[in-house]
């Protein structure tokens, strides 16, 4: 599998920006290498174009997310089970996250190393509000790719090997922030409902 991923990544790389866009789009709903590898290589090669590459990644990935959403919406569980046949239990985990965190769950998957494609397809199956899905996807993907490009643009090769730690640290901060906001929002809503009943 590793050799196949390396071959795919090399193939995308030969196409330049177009390959980056295709890689970013397809990775949102199918099993191909994450676009991060190609984005990092292109950022280091031409740091002056890093923000342009991040923009291409973000838009293409968000479009791919929409495709994944539609696959789930019209293909349902059979398609999900076929694509992720070795991990059927992932759907239950995704559904649990949706019930607990709503659209924040999509943002988490779009920004973190959690398989984004699982969430795009599951979002369609669970009939999540499309506008909220797209907004969370775009924000999460954009935050991830722009973080990678900005860090490499300013620090270059020196920070390359620490990039995963940077993303992990930012992820922890964002997740904590989102969970706190979510909990406070729900507490406020419950209080409003309680006051309305009284």
- Local confidence pLDDT in tens for the 198 residues of the chain: 567 777 887 888 889 999 999 999 999 998 888 898 899 889 988 999 999 999 999 999 999 999 999 999 999 888 888 877 766 677 788 888 887 777 888 988 888 777 889 899 999 999 999 999 999 999 999 999 998 899 888 888 777 777 777 777 776 776 676 667 666 666 655 555 455 555
Look at residues 129, 151, 163, 197 and name the one whose alpha carbon lies nearest to residue 34.
163
Q: What φ, ψ does residue 129 adopt, rounded to 5°?
A: -55, 120
What's the pTM value of the predicted model, to 2 decimals?
0.81
* Domain range enclosing 148: 2-197
Residue 49 is given by DSSP the state G
What is the total count of domains within the chain? 1
């Amino acid at each position: 599998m590793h050799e196949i991923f390396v071959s795919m990544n090399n193939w995308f790389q030969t196409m330049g920006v177009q390959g980056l866009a295709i890689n970013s789009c397809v990775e949102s709903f199918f099993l191909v290498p994450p676009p991060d590898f190609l984005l990092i290589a292109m950022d280091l090669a031409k740091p002056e174009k890093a923000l342009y590459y991040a923009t291409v990644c973000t838009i293409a990935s968000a479009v791919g997310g929409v495709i994944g959403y539609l696959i789930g919406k019209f293909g349902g569980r059979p398609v999900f089970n076929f694509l992720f046949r070795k991990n059927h239990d992932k759907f239950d985990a995704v559904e649990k996250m949706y019930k607990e965190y709503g659209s924040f769950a999509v943002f988490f998957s779009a920004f973190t190393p959690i398989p984004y494609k699982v969430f795009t397809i599951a979002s369609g199956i669970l009939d999540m509000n499309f506008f909220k899905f797209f907004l969370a996807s775009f924000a999460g993907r954009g935050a991830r790719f722009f973080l990678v490009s900005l860090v490499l643009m300013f620090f270059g090769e020196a920070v390359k090997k620490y990039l995963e730690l940077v993303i992990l640290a930012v992820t922890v901060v964002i997740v904590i922030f989102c969970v706190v906001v979510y909990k406070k929002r729900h507490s406020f809503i419950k209080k409003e409902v309680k006051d309305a009943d009284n």
